[in-house]
Amino acid sequence: MTDTSPSQLFRSMLRIRRIEEALAERYTEQEMRCPMHLCIGQEAIAVGVCASLKREDLVYSNHRAHGHYLAKGGNLNAMIAELYGRASGCCGGRGGSMHMIDMDVGFMGATPIVGGTVPLAVGTAWACALKDTGQVTVVFFGDGCFEEGVVHESLNFAALHRLPILFVCENNNFSVYTRREERQPDRPIHLLAGAHGITAYSGNGNDVQEVLNASRRAVESIRSGHGPQFLEFHTYRWREHCGPNFDDQLGYRSKQEIEAGMNDCPIANYVEKINFKNTSITQQEAEIRAEITAAFEFALSSQTPTIKDAEGKVYA
Amino acid sequence: MPEAPSHEITFAQAVREGFEQAMEQDQNVIVIGEGVPDPKAIFTTTSGLREKFGHRRVFDMPLSENGLTGVCIGAALQGIRPVLVHQRIDFALLSMDQLVNNAAKWHYMFDGKASVPLVVRMIVGRGWGQGPQHSQSLQSMFAQVPGMKVVMPTTGYDAKGMLIAAIKDDNPVLIIEHRWLHQIKDVVPLGPYDAPLHKAKVLHEGSDVTVAAFSYMTVEALVAAKALLSTMGVSIEVIDMRSVRPLDTETVLSSVKKTGRLIVADTAFRTGSIAGEVIAQIVEKGFNALKAKPVRIASPDFPAPTSQYMSEHYYPDARTIAEAVIDLVEGPRSTGGYAQLKIDIHPRGRHDTPNQEFTGPF
Ligand SMILES: Cc1ncc(C[n+]2csc(CCOP(=O)(O)OP(=O)(O)O)c2C)c(N)n1
User: How far is the C-alpha of B121 from the C-alpha of B83, rounded, in Å?
Assistant: 7
Cα separation, B175 vs B163, in Å, equals 8
Q: Name which residue sits closest to atom 18 of ligand 1, judged by CA.
A: A142
pLDDT for A1: 61
CA-based R_g, chain B, Å: 20
Distance CA A145, CA A157 (A): 17
Phi first, then psi, for residue B268 (nearest 5°) are -90, 175
**Ligand 1 site, residue A232, Cβ cutoff 6 A:** no
Within its chain, how far is the Cα of A82 from the centroid? Answer: 17
Distance CA A153, CA A150 (A): 5
In 3D space, the residue among B225, B218, B207, B209 whose CA is nearest the CA of residue B327 turns out to be: B209
A76-83 and A6-27 helices, crossing angle to 10°: 20
Query: Looking at the predicted structure, is the pLDDT value of residue B348 above 90?
Result: no
| Catalytic site positions of B | 65, 134
Residue in chain A lying closest to B41 (CA): A177
ipTM confidence: 0.92
Gap between the Cα atoms of A30 and B329, Å rounded: 41
Question: For B353, which residue in chain A has the nearest alpha carbon?
Answer: A33
- Rounded to an integer, the average pLDDT of B28-34 is 98
Q: Please report, as a single letter, which amino acid is at residue A140.
A: F
Q: Under a CB-based contact definition with an 8 Å cutoff, are residues B59 and A110 in contact?
A: no
- With a 6 Å cutoff on the Cβ, whether A180 touches ligand 1 is no
Task: State mean pLDDT over B50-73.
Answer: 96
Ligand 1 mutation pick, A98, A176, A237, max ligand atoms within 8 A of CB = A176
Whether residue B63 has its Cβ less than 6 Å from ligand 1: yes
Share of chain B above pLDDT 90, in %: 95
Ligand 1 pocket member B62 (CB < 6 A): no
User: For an interface test with B, which of A36, A147, A179 has the most B Cβ atoms less than 10 Å from its Cβ?
Assistant: A147
**Which of B34, B40, B63, B69 for a ligand 1 pocket mutation test, highest count of atoms within 8 Å of Cβ?**
B63
**DSSP, res A252:** S
- Is residue A181 packed enough to be buried (19+ CB in 10 Å), middle (13-18) or exposed (0-12)? exposed
- Ligand 1 atom with the shortest distance to the CA of A148: 1
What does the alpha-carbon distance between residue A57 and residue A142 come to, in Å, rounded to a whole number? Answer: 21
Per the CB < 8 A criterion, the answer to whether A121 and A138 are in contact is yes
Question: Which residue in A99, A145, A307 is closest to B310 by CB distance?
Answer: A307
Over chain A (316 residues), the average pLDDT of each successive run of 10 is: 90 98 97 97 98 98 98 98 98 97 98 97 96 98 98 98 98 97 96 97 98 98 98 98 94 95 97 86 95 98 96 94
Q: How far apart are CA B253 and CA A125, in angstroms?
A: 56
Query: Across chain B, where does the E strand assignment appear?
Result: 6-10, 29-33, 58-59, 81-86, 119-124, 149-151, 173-178, 185-189, 201-204, 209-213, 236-240, 243-245, 262-269, 295-299
- Which residues of A lie closer than 8 Å to B, measured between beta carbons? 33-35, 85-86, 89, 91-99, 111-116, 144-145, 147-150, 175-178, 182-184, 250-252, 304-307, 309-311, 314
Runs of H (alpha helix) within A233-277: 255-263, 266-274
CB contact under 8 A, B132 and A95: yes
Q: Do A251 and B39 touch (CB under 8 A)?
A: yes
Q: Which residues of B touch A33 (CB under 8 A)?
A: 128-129, 306-308, 352
Chain centroid to CA B330: how far? 30
Q: What is the mean pLDDT of chain B?
A: 96
B262 neighbors B295 (Cβ within 8 angstroms): yes
- Quote the CA–CA distance of B206 and B235 in Å, as a whole number: 5
Query: Which residue in B56, B46, B57, B84 sits closest to B68, CA to CA?
Result: B84
pLDDT digits (tens, 9 = 90+) for B164-221: 999 999 999 999 999 999 999 999 999 999 999 999 999 999 999 999 999 999 999 9
Mean pLDDT throughout B236-256?
Answer: 98
Domains and CATH numbers, chain B: 6-189 (3.40.50.970), 201-344 (3.40.50.920)
Closest CA to B170 of B149, B155, B186: B149
Chain A neighbors of B310, CB-CB under 8 A: 85, 93-94, 305-307, 309-310
Count Cβ atoms within 10 A of the Cβ of residue B125 and give its class: 0-12 exposed, 13-18 middle, 19 or more buried: buried
Q: Please tell me which of the candidates A95, A182, A309 has its beta carbon nearest to residue B131.
A: A95
The reply to whether ligand 1 has any atom less than 6 angstroms from the CB of A174 is: yes
A63 lines ligand 1 (CB under 6 A): yes
Question: CATH assignment of A6-308?
Answer: 3.40.50.970
Is any ligand 1 atom within 6 A of the Cβ of residue A145? Answer: yes
Give the pLDDT band of residue B1 (cuts 50, 70, 90): low
As a whole number of angstroms, the distance between CA A223 and CA A210 comes to 20
Query: How remote is the CA of residue A252 from the centroid of ligand 1, in Å?
Result: 16
pLDDT of residue A248: 86
Confidence of residue B3 (pLDDT cuts 50, 70, 90): confident
Q: What is the pLDDT of residues B318-345, one digit of tens each?
A: 999 999 999 999 999 999 999 999 999 9
CB–CB of B196/B224 below 8 Å?
A: no
CA B109, B171, B66, B298 torsion-angle sign: positive
Contacts of B301 in chain A (CB under 8 A): 314
pTM above 0.80, yes or no: yes
The pLDDT of residue A206: 98
Mutate to test the interface with B, among A88, A176, A247, A250 (most CBs of B within 10 A): A176
List residues of B whose CB lies inside 8 A of any A CB. Answer: 34-35, 38-40, 60-67, 90-91, 94, 128-134, 300-303, 305-310, 312-314, 352
CA-nearest residue to A111 within chain B is B133
Output the CA B38–ligand 1 centroid distance in Å. 14
Distance, in Å, from the CA atom of B221 to the CA atom of B234, rounded to the nearest integer, reads 13
d(CA B281, CA B277): 6
**Pocket lining: A239 vs ligand 1, CB cutoff 6 Å:** no
Q: Decide: B312 and B351 in contact? Cβ < 8 Å.
A: yes
